[in-house]
A and B are shown apart, each in its own frame.
Chain A
Amino acid sequence: MREEAVRFGSLGCTVGVVTDAVLGGGARADLVRDDTVPLAAAPPERPAFLFLNAGVTHHVGPNELYVKLARALAREGFPSLRFDYSGLGDSGRRADAMPAVESVALETREAMDFLQKSRGVRSFVPIGICSGAINAFTAARSDPRVVGAVLVNAQMHLHGPDPALAEALHARAMSRHAWRIALKSSFRSKNWKKALGGKLTPGRIASMLVGGPVRAVAGRLKGGGGGDGPPAPDPRALLRELSDRGVHLYHLYCEGDEGLDYFHTVLGKGVDEVARGERSTYEVIAGANHVFTLLWSQDELVKRVCAWAATLPRPAPAGATA
């Protein structure tokens, strides 16, 4: 395994670690760079994965999952870069007061530019957990070099910028979450034991089961999505647009995560049809929580992402015509 600590970006303050693909890794060793050949002369044909910060967790990811994923993907022949946005982790802080939404977009592009220049990589797969998944989705929509995206426990990414709609969707998703966890999930017996054992107060139970629907109805009455905000995009159209561009999307959720309920709420009954279309994959890891606390769930995440990565088509060699 060869890893390099790097600093890049227009300000030179973005810090990350590149994991190069392992020689002979993956099913097709010919796709992998030979360590004896200069990097610029032998770019990997496979896309590079970009690991995007999950919340304020630095570039190793929750429970160091990004390191595990990067090394597993390298063994399958995929290079990667895990890095910190400015002001997070080991990166410096910008002095120009650029809004975060702009600096995140800029620094994601700069990460791709860096790998393109230093490794000759031409296509990318952003991957993120939680807020990192939202940024991965945004990158997939905005940069033509993105050929795939792994969205782990993504939420609030498919409905557009209307805050009133966001509030209403969140309330509906939380209501669905409470009922699902209580009645349908693998955790239901554990949670009822907690409730009967007095570990959950009646107020907390009422808040979960009744408060959510009340907030959801209130959100609808307030006209979430129908107010003065920008028109809400059709989430199915968003996904179709990416698929039509040739972008492969992988929505992966933990059973215990609220994002799963957002996904179902925003896509409605057609979730299976929409999310399992061409170039689109949707899976759930049963028994796992938001940050994959248990080791078996970490191993499962790594296994599934590597399996999905293996299905990505090989990009055309540089200079080839369509």
Chain B
Amino acid sequence: MTLPGVVHETEPFFLEGSTGPLYACLHAPVGPSVGRAWVVAPPYGHESLQFHRALRLLADLLADAGCPVLRFDYHGTGDSSGDARGALLDRWFTDTAEMIDELRRRTGVADVGLIGLRLGGAVATRVAAARPDVVRLVLWDPVFDGRAHLAELRALHETMLGYAHVIPDATGSRDEVLGYPLTPALAADIEGIDVVRNITSRPADHVLLVETHEGVPQEPLRRHLGSFRCQLANARLSTPQLWEWVEDFGRVHVPRKVLDAIVRWAGEGASRGLAPGSVPGA
């Protein structure tokens, strides 16, 4: 459906997921579908806010290329039900898997891939590894080492405390990082992320690894993914300004060259006019 006088409309809805109502936005393809669809697994915390605009634009570009796209918020985040203090990775795996099924149900497209950014990359990798029906996976600076990710977040938080106009709570006991809760349970979940150790089978047939964060080299993950018999593509597009915490929410970066690289790869081998349910190359 295309609304007259509107560019890039979306269809928002709540999915009654098993963790509770989940907020999602469906981007319908512009013109005929290419028979390939994508679910976006978002990052958490301040990154979810900083990258919302970029992921929205990515969805628009993929829709322009004929791909339906579903963006959503995990349980306890964004508009979805639950409180961030109850956020847990296991719930997010469930949410992501249910979004894949929902996108299939709504579009009739069988070929559904996953795009995961940062913590969403860890979520997407595990979901893809558990679901043979996910054959395409885009990992954008994914968190593959949870301990390192936590250390990075806590260092950024300390830096923020040093220069922002904030006075920490007198009790000093709050579990938080850059505006978002980091409960002991969620911290333990994140700490347990070790993709190199825990993902022991090919997560998808086709994988694109996008590296823009020089502070978090993806070499170990690249080597690990390379050990599987999958078609691994690599896009290194250093964009350091993406990874600075910004207090001023008017200064959100949208890395167009990164988005274009993902859209190019995501559309490879697909062509418009494929019937719903068909899988190119299958």
Contact = CB atoms under 8 A, between A and B. Distances in A.
B10 interface: yes
B8 interface: yes
Interface in B49-108: 49, 52-53, 56, 77-79, 81, 84
A95 B176 contact: no
Interface residues of B, number: 45
Contacts of B13: 5
A292 B165 CA distance: 10
A76 interface: no
Nearest to A71: B83
Given A5-B23, A60-B79, A286 B167 contact: yes
A92 B6 contact: yes
A7 B12 contact: yes
Contacts of B181: 295
B249 A287 contact: no
Contact of A287 (B11, B49, B52, B166): B166
B178 interface: yes
A90 B249 contact: no
A169 interface: no
Contacts of B179: 62-63, 291-295, 298
Contact of B11 (A3, A7, A17, A254): A7
B3 A3 contact: no
B79 A67 contact: yes
B87 to A, nearest CB: 11
Contacts of A5: 12-14, 23, 79
Interface of A: 1, 3-7, 11-13, 15-17, 54-60, 62-64, 67, 89-96, 130-131, 181, 185-187, 190, 194, 199, 254-257, 286-298
18 contacts: A3-B21, A7-B11, A11-B3, A11-B5, A63-B179, A64-B77, A64-B84, A89-B56, A91-B10, A92-B6, A93-B7, A95-B6, A181-B165, A186-B167, A199-B163, A290-B248, A291-B179, A295-B176
Please name the 4 residue pairs, one residue from A and one from B, whose CB atoms are nearest each other, closest first.
A256-B165, A287-B167, A92-B9, A63-B179
